Amino acid sequence: RPSYIAGPASCQSLFCLMKIAVLLRSARAAQRSEGREVFKIAPLARTQSERVRRLALATGFGSSA
């Protein structure tokens, strides 16, 4: 006999799917804002190598810790 103390399994699954959707939405929003910040820096570069160097500096890549 199934236990419904925590609710039926179908409701739990639906809740999990809704929760995942909310988390994915906020993750996408964060990625978009990071992309905008990088986009402001990248157009300043004239060559591909300069653009790569500026992006690396802007994102903290290669910084010594």
> Smallest Cα–Cα separation from 21: which of 33, 29, 6?
29
Confidence of residue 53 (pLDDT cuts 50, 70, 90): confident
Q: Are 18 and 27 in contact (CB under 8 A)?
A: no
How far is the C-alpha of 28 from the C-alpha of 23, rounded, in Å?
A: 9
Please report how many Cα atoms fall inside a 13 Å half-sphere around the Cα of residue 20, on the Cβ side: 6
Q: What is the pTM of this model?
A: 0.28
- Per residue in 16-50, pLDDT (tens digit) is 667 777 777 777 777 666 655 555 555 555 677 77
In this predicted structure, what is the pLDDT of residue 55? 74
